[in-house]
Homo-oligomer: A and B are copies of this chain.
Amino acid sequence: MQQRIKAVLRLREMILDGELAAGSRLSEPMLAELIQVSRTPVRVALVQLEHEGLLELLPGGGYRIRVFAEKDIFDAIELRGTYEGLCARYAAESGASALELERLAGHIAGIDEVLESDQLSEGDFLRYMEINQQLHDCVIDMAHSPMLAEAMNRIVTLPFASPSAFVLVHAEIPESRHVLTIAQHQHHSLYEAIADGEGSRAEAIAREHARSAKRNLQIVLRQQDAMDRVPGLQLIKRG
């Protein structure tokens, strides 16, 4: 593998997993030593992660691991929802093909299956997360807009959006089942809106879906020890 890609992947991983202290300054020689590459690929990785929003460039030069305020994260989720709403609108208004609708329905049915379990296991959470990701990607694809798909990747990488974090979050909160059921209702509504070509409704549902995610995060953040257990949350400064 190319050193440059190795550096980006490893550095991102180290930041999100908390191997590097949130807010700390990063020195190129240190990272080069940790990742076992020279300073050049490290430098490229730093530039890239700064654009992704995980690092900030210091005035005097050098980089620091960014610390997010709670509001930053909520705004980022709102933004993501707005953006997905636009994709949903495009998907509905561009006239989805039968094949695409079938794929979308397939993902939703997959989640229905997962939720049939009486007691949700860790594996169930992982599977939900996996299908959920595919479902959202599917809606983005259905917008048929390379520009929108690309812009999605430019939005700040949400620091807690890893599968393992998802599992931990849902394994911890008692409302988990309720929360996922509501989300799935929204998925069904979204499908109908897109299938019926109702752009405005599809957009509204996608945005509301993101607002639900915001509320869920709030529940998690209220638990005092969440930060210690959920990878990524250490990047959020408690308000």
Contact = CB atoms under 8 A, between A and B. Distances in A.
A86 B71 CA distance: 15
Contact of A79 (B48, B51, B76, B83): B83
A145 B86 contact: no
A216 interface: no
Interface stretch (A149-157, A164-172, A227-235): A149-157
A98 interface: no
A75 B145 contact: yes
A82 interface: yes
Contacts of A34: none
Contact of A47 (B48, B145, B151): B48
Contacts of A75: 145, 147-148
A156 B146 contact: no
A78 interface: yes
A95 interface: no
A130 interface: no
A79 B147 contact: yes
Contact of A155 (B47, B51, B72, B154): B154
B147 A151 contact: no
A76 B90 CA distance: 13
Interface in A57-90: 71-72, 75-76, 78-79, 82-83, 85-86
Interface in A114-159: 145-148, 150-151, 154-156
A177 interface: no
Best-surrounded residue of A51, A151, A155 (most CB of chain B within 10 A): A151
A18 interface: no
Given A44-B47, A154-B154, 5 more contacts: A51-B154, A76-B147, A78-B86, A79-B86, A151-B156
